[in-house]
Structure formats: structure tokens, C-alpha cells
Amino acid sequence: MNLHRILRLMKKELIQIRRDRRILAFLFVVPVVQLFLFGYAVSTDVNHVAMAVLDEDRTAESRALIRRFTASGYFDQVAYLSGQREIDALLDAGRAALVLRVPRGFGHALARGRGAEIQTILDGADSRMARVIAGYTNGVLRVYGGEIVQTRAPRARLPAVDGRVRVWYNPELKSVYFMVPGVLCMVLFLITMLMTALAIVREREIGTLEQLVVTPLSAGELMLGKTLPFLLIGLIEIVLTLLTAILIFRVEVAGSIPLLFALSALFLMTSLGLGIFISTISKTQHEATLSSFLCFMPFILLSGFIFPVENMPAAIQGVTYLIPLRYFLEIVRGIFLRGVGMDVLWPQVIALAVFGIAILSLAAARFSKRLG
């Protein structure tokens, strides 16, 4: 193993990347664009819910309830209905996600100290959004009910259980804090895997791989010289993502940044190994691109990046244990959000190391055999 020859090959690869503006844009512009899309556009936060009101009671109590909804910051009143017949047309047209109906006798029931009922009608086409809105609605009603109890019967005996909810790690429940670590994992995986595969296949397409084979370079030196530049680029991607997350999205890294870099380098063993393996089964860059995305999509869907693993069927949950990206995603979110260290993350680290060594060894063996 000659370090000088490996460094010269790495220099050649980096010069080739620098001269191709399209590759530079893919490496350093696309990740930032994806970060902005997932940070701003693809948000799971539910705010400014369009709400229509049907107030059949028209009392001070009903108006106070409506004000409580609009003052919460979650609901925007977009329509005031005069009858129940308008509800269907409003929801069919998608003009409102929630209809708040206050029936007659609401204020009278409260004045007599009895329980008062209201009706909330949700657009359930988007079930996730409907569940969030239902939670917001229940929260507003609890606050309003507490105010009524304190106003009407300040000395009344309150329930024995007083629930106080505290949210750790993401107190404001902002989706950007959850999405940014996921985007880091996605970008790092896709770019290093795809670019490694394309770099080797491109050499084969233009005929320079055969020229490299007849040089004194061994198979191991050739593989290291082609992959180490993308390991370096992957670490630069982490720096770029961290700067964007911290300076623009104001996402603070609760844990150790050096640990994040170290475990990211461990994950790169897997992505680089997959890139090498794909290069051995692809004859053209087009085939390598298709194979990379064929591998990329199951990894993203089954890693927990978009859909929680706990919500998947039991059989599919078993399959997710074979996805290295799942472990890396748990590591990155653990460091970003919870500030945990190796004392908590060691099971994921061991699993990631096993996958990385196995995949890289398989790819190296196939690469050496293909060169031979």
C-alpha cells in the first residue's frame, strides 16, 4: 500500500470534480436547497388553521369561546356561517379545515353551572393534520373550561389530578428541528453513494480505468484513491449543513459535534461501500444512477426519516433493522436534539460498524475481482 500513489490519485479525482461545474453544483448547492425545502416548505407544523364559525347561541359566552380559539394563534376565522346547510359546501370547497358550531343554549347551560356542548367538524382528508387540529381544539377547550371554573366558582373543588405537560428536547414542537438532522443523513448518504459509483463507472466508460489498472496501483490503492475524496466531501457536506442549520434555522446542536463527525465517518463506510458495489454491477453512468436511486428510496422510506418506524406493520419493522440509515438517523437526531453520547448510542454505533465493515468488505472483494 503506497500512500504517495493514493494521494496522487485523490488529487486527480479532486481536480476532475473541481473542473465539472455540474458536479460542484450537485455537491454543494443541491444540499443547501434541500435543507431550505425541508426546513421551510416541507413543514409538519400546523398553524393558521382556517376555521369557520356557526354561532347559533349568539351570547357573550359563545363569543368568548370563539375569541379563545382565534387568540390561541392556531386558528384563523375565515367565515361566519348563518346555517348548517353552508357547512358541506364550505368543507367541499376546501375553504376551511375546521367548523366550530356553538348550539343554542350554550351560554344558558354555563350560567346554570351545567356542562355545555359544542360541535367541531374537521376535514379528515389529511388524517395527520386532522389529528393535530383535534389536539389544538381540545387544548383550547381545556383552557376555556378552566377559565369558566375559576370565574364562576373560584372556591369550587378542582379535580384531584392536575395534568401539566412538559415537552423536552423540542419545547416549541418545531418540525425544522426534527427535519434538519434527517436532511443531513439523506444528503450525506445520497451524494457519497451516487458520486462514488459514478466516479468509478465514468472511468470505465471513457476507458481510463484500464489505464489505471496497468499502472503500479494495486486494487486497494485504486479503491482508496477513488473513495477517499468523497469521504472528504462528505465531511465538508456536514460542515455546510451544520452552518446552515445553526446560522439560518437557529437549530442548536445539543450534543458533541466531534462525536457527530466521528460517527458520520463511520456511516460513510456504508455509503461508500454501496457506491463501490453499485459501480461493479453497472456498465454505464445511467445504470449506476438508476441503481443508486433504487437503493436510496427503500433506505429513506424505511429508515424513519419520513414515517415513524413504530407506526409500520410488524413485518416491515423487522426489515428496518437491515437498513443502516435507520441507525445513523437515530444517532444524528440523538446528538442534535437530545445531546446524548456513546453511553446511549452504543447499540446503534455497533450496528452501524457491523454494516459498514460488511458492506465495504463485500464491495472491495467484488471490486478486486472485477479488476482481476
Q: Where are the domains of the chain?
A: 17-42+174-371, 49-152
* Residue 150, pLDDT above cutoff 80: no
Cell of 85: 346547510
Which residues are 102's β-sheet partners?
Answer: 55
Instruction: State the CB neighbour count (10 A cutoff) for residue 307.
Output: 13
Please state, in angstroms and rounded to a whole number, the distance separating the CA atoms of residues 372 and 274: 20
Residue in the block written with cell 436532511: 183
Please state, in angstroms and rounded to a whole number, the distance separating the CA atoms of residues 349 and 327: 7
For residues 249 and 283, is the Cβ–Cβ distance under 8 A?
Answer: no
Instruction: State the CB neighbour count (10 A cutoff) for residue 79.
Output: 15
Q: Which tens digit of pLDDT belongs to each residue from 196-223?
A: 888 888 877 777 666 666 666 676 777 7
Mean residue pLDDT across the chain: 81
The three-point CA angle 62-66-68 to 5° equals 115
Please state, in angstroms and rounded to a whole number, the distance separating the CA atoms of residues 270 and 315: 24
165 burial level (CB within 10 Å; 0-12, 13-18, 19+)? exposed
Average pLDDT over residues 28-53: 72
Please state, in angstroms and rounded to a whole number, the distance separating the CA atoms of residues 65 and 70: 9
Q: Tell me, what's the pLDDT at 266? A: 92
* Residue 226, pLDDT above cutoff 90: no
What is the pairing mode between strands 75-80 and 119-122?
unpaired
Q: Which CATH number fits domain 49-152: 3.40.1710.10, 3.40.50.720, 1.10.760.10, 1.20.120.400?
A: 3.40.1710.10
Please state, in angstroms and rounded to a whole number, the distance separating the CA atoms of residues 17 and 24: 7
Q: Tell me, what's the pLDDT at 352? A: 93
Global pTM value: 0.72
- Report the range of poorest mean pLDDT among 116-120, 188-192, 222-226: 222-226
Cβ partners under 8 Å of residue 218, min gap 6: 1
Q: Tell me, what's the pLDDT at 260? A: 93
Q: Which tens digit of pLDDT belongs to each residue from 301-337?
A: 888 887 778 778 888 889 999 999 999 999 998 998 8
> Which amino acid is it at 338?
R
- Helix ranges (H only) for 282-306 are 285-302
* Residue 158, pLDDT above cutoff 70: no
Please state, in angstroms and rounded to a whole number, the distance separating the CA atoms of residues 156 and 102: 26
* Residue 162, pLDDT above cutoff 70: no
Give 164-222 as a DSSP string. -----S-TT--HHHHHHHHHHHHHHHHHHHHHHHHHHHHHHHHTHHHHHHTSS--HHHH
For residue 226, give the nearest of 243, 210, 209 by alpha carbon.
Answer: 209
* Residue 153, pLDDT above cutoff 60: no
Q: Tell me, what's the pLDDT at 167? A: 59
For residues 277 and 359, is the Cβ–Cβ distance under 8 A?
Answer: yes
